[in-house]
Chains A and B, each alone.
Chain A
């Protein structure tokens, strides 16, 4: 008998809200978190992209100055989201040897790394601070969360670019099913709104250049889409063995019914145009969760708003769900908060859990002229999800050909 895994706590800090209630309210209202960057480095380095989606609540409004000093900004966001999820779960007592962490990042401590490089060049090696290495390492966020919660059943950092946050859920499910842990703090964190990553993503033509209108730049499925909008933040979910949650009378948001990870083995950055890897991931997550196409009522799509990325996902959804794809309410929430890279899967999983729990689909904004080659039923105005047993899927795909899917079932 496979252990059933449920979700009992949610946390987030994002460009459309510094906590879960604010984010959810805005996600249903339809707001844009993208704004012009006021930083002097935009002009100094002549960046081709002048906007991004920053977190609405600065980390220093939540963490103490001394706490924040030892954390890269990505880790700061991760710890903030993890604390909210932990408090939300209501867990007061836990055997630390049964509590694990699976907290992802796509890029890791890029601010710390590049600040230290600047310091080395300007002031010499003596001024490179001793906390540099633990702050820049990609496992820094998982380690900080483990320290913060006293979690001793392992602290893992799945790294698969923009699929990282979703892969963390895949790993968390495995850790509980295989009996290695009873509770897992899962999540993803990213803070890469720095001139170098902005320049690098621009140079590969991945970012929107709608500099005169940032709020309308992230427009998945729209004919006028021209790239994604860089976001930042973190999402966190407390996964718990069902029997553990029931024993303590926990509030259960939903079941993490199935997950999957596949690889395209097609191209380092371009998605397989047939969406074959994504199709296999969708089918595998549905098989894992014993889910029929007809059970699926909602999809939180990866949909980054790039010209090449949005369509293969549609092809994959059609292949996995058949004609039922027409009955599925699809939300592209990156239209609101931009692309949180390694955190996106975690934040979108939080939204998907809430969609199932609250029976409401978050909005897709900026869809004015829907690409006729992507005839999905996109949620652009308030939409209730049906009563009864329902399933929602959340997809994430990452450079490197990584595909990851999670399936959330109502309880």
Chain B
């Protein structure tokens, strides 16, 4: 079980790997599309990589609800519980 801080750090690493964005730019209140300029293909790549990293399943219909980095952290944290 990862803490929310660990999930955020792990997500930041995945986002950095996919987009080159600095990990510290990946903050809880940032929107994936508006703030981080992540398109749908990159978003799906990030989701698939997050599933593997955190051992969770993020259903396709859930992805559109993950507007901010915080949404993703909360979802992963809940799915791990």
In-complex Cβ contact of B48 among A65, A66, A127 (8 A):
A127
Closest Cβ–Cβ distance, residue B32 to chain A (whole Å)? 15
- Cβ–Cβ < 8 Å partners of B45 in chain A: 129-131
Interface residues of A in 88-138 (CB under 8 A from B): 126-127, 129-131
A66 contacts across to B, CB distance below 8 A: 18-20
Interface SS of A by simple majority: helix
> How many angstroms between the C-alpha atoms of A69 and B51 in the bound complex?
19
Instruction: Say yes or no: A131 contacts B41, CB within 8 Å.
Output: yes
How many B residues are at the interface, by size bracket? 10 to 19
B41 touches A64 (CB 8 A): no
Q: With contacts A126-B51, A127-B52 known, is A65 near B44, CB below 8 A? A: no
Residue in B closest to A129 when the chains form the complex, CB atoms: B45
Q: How far is the CA of A66 from the CA of B20 in the complex (A)?
A: 6
- Name the A residues within 8 Å of B19 (CB-CB): 66
**Given the interface contacts A130-B41, A131-B41, does A69 sit within 8 Å of B18 by beta carbon?**
yes
* A66-B18, A69-B18 known; A126+B41 contact, CB < 8 A: no
Contacts of B44 in A (CB 8 A): 129-130
| C-alpha spacing A127/B48, complex, angstroms | 6
A131 to B, closest residue via Cβ? B41
Query: Across the interface, do B48 and A129 meet the contact criterion of CB distance under 8 Å?
Result: yes
Q: How large is the interface on A (under 10, 10 to 19, 20 to 34, 35 or more residues)?
A: under 10
In the complex, chain B residues 10-33 whose Cβ is within 8 Å of any chain A Cβ: 18-20
Contact partners of A127 in chain B: CB under 8 A = 48, 52
Contact string against A for B residues 33-47, beta-carbon threshold 8 Å, 1 for contact and 0 otherwise: 000000011001100
A-contact bits for B47-60, CB 8 A (1 contact / 0 none): 01001100000000
What are the residues of chain A within 8 A of B40 when measuring CB–CB? 130
A185 to chain B, nearest CB (A): 25
Residues of B within 8 A of A64 (CB): 20
Chain A residue contacts of B18, Cβ below 8 A: 66, 69
Min CB–CB distance B35 → chain A (angstroms): 17
CB distance from B10 to the nearest CB of A (A): 17
| Assembled-state Cα–Cα distance A130/B41 (Å) | 6
Query: Which residues of chain A from 55 to 82 have a CB within 8 Å of any chain B CB?
Result: 64-66, 69
Interchain CA distance A69-B18 in the complex, whole Å: 8
- For the complex, what is the distance from the CA of A161 to the CA of B41, rounded to whole Å? 31
Complex CA gap A66/B51 in Å reads 21
- Assuming A66-B19, A130-B44, what are 7 further A-B pairs, CB within 8 angstroms? A64-B20, A66-B18, A66-B20, A127-B52, A129-B45, A129-B48, A130-B45
Interface of B toward A, CB cutoff 8 Å: 18-20, 40-41, 44-45, 48, 51-52
Chain A to chain B: the 4 pairs with minimum beta-carbon distance, closest first: A66-B20, A130-B44, A130-B41, A129-B45
